[in-house]
Amino acid sequence: MKKKTLAVVMVFLLSFFSSGCGLTEKQKEAIIETHEAISESADAILLQKNPFEKFEEMLPEYKSYSNVEDAWVTDDALHVKYKRGGIAVWQITPDYILPPYTRVSPNCDRLPGSFQIRTNINTAASGAGNTVCLVDILSDDERFAFCKDIIADLSTSFERNNFIVTVKTKADADIDFFAHELKNFKVVILFSHGGVTYLGDDLNMLCTGTEFSSFEAFLESYPAQWISRELVFLAHTIRKNGEDDSILRAAITRNFINNKYANADFDKAWFYLAGCKGLSTTQFSDAFTSKGAAVTIGWDDVNCIGPVTAQLLFESLLGGANLRSAIDALPQEARVSKCEVPEGANLVFYPASAGAAGLSNPAIYEITITSPDDGATYGSRFVQLTGEMPDVMRIEHGTVELNGIATTLTTTSDTTFSQPLVLRSGANTIKVNCYAVKDAEGNAAFASREMTVNGDFPVLDLFTELRWNTDYSDVDLHLLPPESGIADLWTYRDCFYYNKTTDWGAVLDVDDTEGFGPEHITMQSAGLSGVYRLFVHYYDEDGAGSSDATIDVSVKDGPLHTFGPFHLTADGWYAGSLWEVCTIEFPGGVITPVEQSYDLNAYGQAFGADSAFSSLPIK
């Protein structure tokens, strides 16, 4: 009996391996034919602006194919599971953004030049104790070109602190890299797309840099890994030369990690997954931890700030913070991404016991706040934040967060800073973060300070705040009163840089012409009933190139409504982008999104020859 059973098993195994790891040539051809039939419609739908509804409409047809086991749509993708095969995914790519508290220019011609990125180092020879791999699979997409800047800045920060840095671009970060090289590094920071597919249980996936000309080419190369769900076939969008197209890649799953690495391969390693849903379950973290990793950090849903958060997080870790304190110190907007998911995607890490872990020697640096006073009460809503970070050589950059809104910290010398703040009535929370260079060797230092001050004044009817993400650039807020048209911009009816205090109640606090903001237009009391119109305008790029603006609006100290980011482009001096952000109706206080752009080059034709644009006030 045993011999007979063994013979049957041997016949089965021989059949299995001789037929393409579970698929006969006939079965393989049938799956390819079905996939091509589905792709005829799915590829086109993927490039549409809102593909989800159309994917849902096509599901019955996709499920009707004899070689399809199941098909389903999630909040970011179409998924198809083939009988006797694996899963194919058509995934919508979210736009990552540079938020207004970042120090990275969105224009990649401003790369740091004071260092050399080392690529393809034989890290196995030197050991993985101080090695870092920065993996950039995103920046070949024009929407994510700024990731090159973040990689460059992170390379500088790590090298200054005696880490050996290896950068892997899309071509280097192929399937073989993920299969063999991850174990060579102490820290792996992965800028890539992520997602979750489903069949019986959630299956997280991370996109590799390996591209394919077709599904057939993928299936010819990796049939066994596809069937075992180590690899998922992935189609997602990419933008080149201003046009969107789809690209075909392979994504790895936890099965891939489990099968490629031994238990001790990731000895005390750190992994950061910038992509969407990388840690929506603990699958990847469990896989990495089971192979010896110290911690995996990532996002539990669709996010749009993963790369920017990576920069702030690891600079604070290099500056002496442990993981828990580094995450807690992040601005709220950097650890809860609300760009794509209303309830927000959260930055999380596993295992929970890793919170005390660090990348450098623990160090405590201080921030001294000279104004305002912690716990004090102020009768004016306008206060000046001033302070310093002693015992360091210079502050490289910083953030200031007021009541959950973060902006770039304005430094006044190597170690001091000063910035105007607009308080709310009642309690106000202020958090200041400083990322500094401690000494001439470039060692990092990080400090965070949080305080509370109180505002003793009437509640504002209207609060607006403008922030943007480029230095040396000038972006302006405009507020028009009821019964105003576009032609009233830049006139006495407009609250703007040349008419900061209006006779109808609106006040602009400052006109920031040097970048980042913030600027505020407020109204103590909306004396006029009707609809007010809020605009943002790119006045002067001054070499910064394009910029992205975010506007926050609140009525009667109610919840903040965040608009943007609005992509602003320059087209000559003061002829840059003009967006209408929203309207605010009083006395009801109803905020209504508008988010409409206007072409200032066609200003005369669109808004009338007698408009004020031809005589726009000069700063």
Q: What is the pLDDT of residues 176-188, one digit of tens each?
A: 999 999 999 999 9
Phi and psi angles of residue 213, each rounded to the nearest 5 degrees, phi first: -75, -20
Residue 4 has pLDDT above 70, yes or no: no
Residue 610 has pLDDT above 60, yes or no: no
Q: What is the mean pLDDT of residues 226-235?
A: 96
Residue 94 has pLDDT above 90, yes or no: no
> What is the per-residue pLDDT for 200?
66
Q: What is the mean pLDDT of residues 394-413?
A: 94
Per 3-state DSSP, the chain is made up of helix, strand and coil in percentages (nearest 5) of 25, 35, 40
Domain limits, the chain = 364-457, 459-619
Task: Pick 397 or 122 by higher pLDDT.
Answer: 397
DSSP assignment, residue 60? H
Q: What is the mean pLDDT of residues 400-414?
A: 94
> What is the per-residue pLDDT for 120?
37
Phi and psi angles of residue 537, each rounded to the nearest 5 degrees, phi first: -135, 135
CB atoms within 10 A of CB 420: 15
Least confident of 30-44, 119-133, 296-310: 119-133
Rounded Cα gap, residues 32 and 50, in angstroms: 27
Q: Give 346-395 as a DSSP string.
A: EEEEESGGGGG--SS-------EEEES-TT-EESSSEEEEEEE-TTSSEE
459-619 placed in CATH 2.60.60: yes
For residue 119, what pLDDT band results from cuts at 50, 70 and 90?
very low
Task: Pick 362 or 284 by higher pLDDT.
Answer: 284
Indicate the angle between helix axes 52-64 and 25-46, nearest 10 degrees: 160
For residue 6, what pLDDT band results from cuts at 50, 70 and 90?
very low
Residue 13 has pLDDT above 60, yes or no: no
Residue 17 has pLDDT above 60, yes or no: no
pTM, whole model, 2 decimals? 0.88
Q: Whats the size of the chain, residue-wise?
A: 619
Q: What is the mean pLDDT of residues 538-553?
A: 90
Residues 565-582 as b or e (16 or more Cβ within 10 Å = b): bbbbebeeebbbbbbbbb
344-353 tens-digit pLDDT: 899 999 999 9
For residue 35, what pLDDT band results from cuts at 50, 70 and 90?
very high
H, E, C per residue of 126-170? HCCCCEEEEEECCCCCHHHCCHHHHHHHHHHHHHHCCCEEEEECC
Rounded Cα gap, residues 236 and 302, in angstroms: 15
Average pLDDT over all residues of the chain? 88
364-457 is classed in which CATH architecture?
Answer: Sandwich (2.60)
482-494 tens-digit pLDDT: 999 988 999 999 9
Same fold across 364-457 and 459-619: no
Beta bridge partners of 203: 197
Beta bridge partners of 507: 501, 522
The answer to whether 79 and 450 are in contact (CB under 8 A) is no
Rounded Cα gap, residues 144 and 610, in angstroms: 41
